[in-house]
């Protein structure tokens, strides 16, 4: 449980929106902590499609990099939401490998303003991270999932079989 902007890792993941120009929730917190240079770099990226990921520097954050991904808005489950959330985790992990990132922190993508059910979202997150780290070719040493509230934290623990 904690604030992702305070994590001493090589990269943190931002649950952004398609404009990449900042928003509320974790996106707002990351832009505030990183400083205005982050927005300037984001403006050059031309947005990001849902399910994809793009990387910037971390500026004033302890993390060297920010990987911006756009989670799906939950619209009842019939609109490929699970597939798209899976792609978010996969594309972030792929980008992390390309930049030789060893330690990485994720927020709980899509489970805030985008209303993705936490049980399904935590299952996807943990499954995709484990699957990736199980690959022999992976250079990533540590992945954190940083939960901002206790309810979210307890769901991830339950999904891990720890409660």
Catalytic residue positions?
27
Distances (CA, A) of 8 to 51, 87, 89, 160: 26, 25, 20, 23
**Least Å from the CB of residue 98 to ligand ADP:** 23
d(Cα 131, Cα 5) in Å, to the nearest integer? 26
**Nearest Cα residue to 90 out of 128, 144, 56, 124:** 128
CA distances from 100 to 5, 7, 64, 94, 155 (A): 20, 18, 12, 10, 30
**50 lines the binding site for ligand ADP (CB under 6 A):** no
Q: Which of 86, 87, 108, 122 binds ligand ADP (CB under 6 A)?
A: 108
Nearer to ligand ADP by C-beta: 63 or 101?
63
Selected from 111, 122, 129, 153, the binder of ligand ADP by CB under 6 A is 111
| Residue whose CB is less far from ligand ADP, 45 or 144 | 144
33 versus 140: smaller Cβ distance to ligand ADP: 33
Q: Does 110 bind ligand ADP (CB under 6 A)?
A: yes
CA torsion angle for 17, 22, 23, 26 (degrees, to 10)? Answer: 90
Least Cβ distance, residue 5 to ligand ADP (angstroms): 5
Contact 4, 146 (CB under 8 A): yes
Nearer to ligand ADP, 22 or 64 (CB): 22
- Residues in contact with ligand ADP, total (CB under 6 A)? 21
Residues 65-104: x where in contact with ligand ADP by CB under 6 A, - otherwise, as a string = ------x---------------------------------
Q: Residue 17 has which token pair?
A: 């929106």
Q: In sequence order, which ranges of 101-149 are alpha helices (DSSP H)? A: 118-133
Q: Which of 139, 138, 158 is nearest to 147 (CA)?
A: 158
Binding site for ligand ADP (CB under 6 A): 3-5, 15, 25-27, 29, 71, 107-114, 146, 148-149, 152
């Amino acid at each position: 449980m904690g604030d992702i902007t305070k994590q001493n890792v090589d990269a943190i993941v931002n649950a952004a929106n398609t404009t990449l120009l900042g928003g509320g929730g974790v996106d707002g917190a990351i832009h505030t902590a990183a400083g205005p240079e982050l927005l300037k770099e984001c403006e050059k990226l031309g947005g990001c499609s849902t399910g994809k990921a793009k990387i910037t520097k971390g500026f004033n954050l302890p993390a060297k990099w920010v990987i911006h991904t756009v989670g799906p808005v939950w619209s009842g489950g019939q609109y490929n939401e699970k597939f798209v959330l899976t792609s978010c985790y996969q594309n972030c992990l792929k980008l992390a490998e390309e930049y030789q990132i060893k330690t990485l922190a994720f927020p709980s993508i899509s489970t805030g303003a985008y209303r993705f059910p936490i049980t399904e979202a935590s299952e996807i997150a943990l499954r995709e991270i484990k699957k990736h780290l199980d690959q022999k070719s992976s250079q990533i040493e540590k992945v954190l999932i940083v939960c901002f509230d206790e309810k979210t934290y307890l769901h991830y623990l339950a999904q891990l079989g720890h409660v």
